[in-house]
Structure 1
Amino acid sequence: MTLSPTPRSTIQRGKKRGVTDRAALERVLDAGLICHLAFVTPDGHPVVVPTGYGHEDGTLYVHGSTGAASLRAGAGAEVCVNVTLLDGVIYSRAVFHHSVNYRSATIHGAARPVTDPDAKLNALRVITEHIAPGSWDQARGPSPQEFAKTAVLALDLHEAAVKIRSGGPGEEPEDLTPDRIGASWAGVLPLVRTWGTPEPCEHLPPEVGVPDYVSSRTRQDGPQ
């Protein structure tokens, strides 16, 4: 399936980097761990906050304290969410063409509060499993008090834009002449992310080893 751009989700600059495949949107969201949620406060001030998220069946979920300004202001309001993954720095022979390789997804829409208890619990499961896979079935679930103190917002993934930049530097023809081509280094400095060694909690008994759902992430290439 393809994305169907609206006026505000239509890419204006760098259109050639736009990707309309909905699967590409899901891949970016799968690879990220933190999104930036933008909203306007009741007194008219724009605010951007970083937060964890999860997505399932065409819906993105964010959560936080019921007292959080972002959750209160975002409920029922138009918001914008962005997830960006930096993949490398581009060195060119001209500073104008220095750039970065990246994957980016931007979603627009009205955030709706999730109040149905079963839907809210499922949204918390989705967020938990996105950030810390395997934890939902192993850790204690939210108590009634914790559940009441947590707010969840849902945002449809209908209105979204995806941009991806990969490859080497762009160059001007005059910088590729024999007298200029070797004047400075040009290329890509890839950014590689890896998980470190798990560090147990100070209260954990020494006989409790690292579970596979944690250690398996260290055997992967890292958060892509």
Structure 2
Amino acid sequence: MQREMRRSDRQLAIEEAKEILTKAEYGSLATIGEDGYPYVVPVSYAFEDSSIYIHGATEGHKLDNINFSSKVSFCVVGDTNVLPSKFSTEYESVIVFGRASIIEQEEKLHALECLIKKYSPDFMDSGMKYIANDKHKTTVVKIDIEKITGKARR
């Protein structure tokens, strides 16, 4: 599938990579278009089990690309600390490879609930009402994770 990590001494255990994926605030989704160009877009997301959920508009570049090719990459950066005097940075990051698909019905509702739990946990009741009223205005993409790697310099 992909190359092995060059700096394997910085590779994280899968469970630690999943912790970073859970706590990171946003991620970057990479898709490939029919024209052969990559497209990377920052997105809000929720991670659960072996899936990443992303919501967005009902049309656009991201969806066009996913309809062309379901193969995607997703990246998050966790904690960082610039070390100016060492000309370096402490960091933690995760890269995921997987397949993206548009989800509907109960799975879509579950994904939207996961997003409310992550970003607005103190507003679950009003968030669920929002979902009930506006679910038709959003598309939910599910990434089924095929490979996950984490890397850190601490």
Q: TM-score, normalized by length of structure 2?
A: 0.88
**Which one has the bigger strand percentage?**
2
- Greater C-alpha Rg: 1
Counterparts in 2 of 1:55 and 1:108: CA distance versus 1, 3 Å: same
Give the structure 2 partner of residue 126 of structure 1: 114
Cα offsets for 1:191-220 (capped at 9, x unmatched): xxxxxxxxxxxxxxxxxxxxxxxxxxxxxx
Distance (whole Å) between structure 2 residues aligned to residue 160 and residue 56 of structure 1:
13
Counterpart code for 1:42: E
Residue 42 of structure 2 corresponds to residue 53 of structure 1:
no
Counterpart code for 1:78: K
SS of the counterpart of 2:91?
Answer: strand
Give the structure 2 partner of residue 176 of structure 1: none
Q: CA deviation at 1:26?
A: 1.8
Q: Is the 8 A contact 2:112 2:131 kept in 1?
A: no
* Unmatched runs of 5 consecutive residues or more in structure 2: none
Q: CA deviation at 1:42?
A: 2.1
Moved over 6 A (4+): none
SS of the counterpart of 1:127?
Answer: helix
Residue 2 of structure 2 corresponds to residue 8 of structure 1:
yes
Cα offsets for 1:19-40 (capped at 9, x unmatched): 1x22212210122111000111
Give the structure 1 partner of residue 90 of structure 2: 101
Q: CA deviation at 1:143?
A: 4.2
Q: CA deviation at 1:160?
A: 0.9
Counterparts in 2 of 1:131 and 1:32: CA distance versus 1, 3 Å: same
**Which one has the bigger helix percentage?**
2
Number of equivalenced pairs: 152
SS of the counterpart of 1:129?
Answer: helix
SS of the counterpart of 1:74?
Answer: helix
Counterpart code for 1:159: K
How big is the alpha-carbon RMSD for the aligned residues of Structure 1 and Structure 2? 1.8
Counterparts in 2 of 1:31 and 1:143: CA distance versus 1, 3 Å: closer
Give the structure 1 partner of residue 101 of structure 2: 112
Give the structure 2 partner of residue 164 of structure 1: 152
Q: Is the 8 A contact 1:66 1:72 kept in 2?
A: no
Q: Is the 8 A contact 1:60 1:155 kept in 2?
A: yes
Distance (whole Å) between structure 2 residues aligned to residue 23 and residue 163 of structure 1:
12
Counterparts in 2 of 1:38 and 1:78: CA distance versus 1, 3 Å: same
Q: Is the 8 A contact 2:77 2:91 kept in 1?
A: yes
Give the structure 2 partner of residue 138 of structure 1: 126
Among the aligned pairs, what percent are the same residue? 26
Counterpart code for 1:131: Y
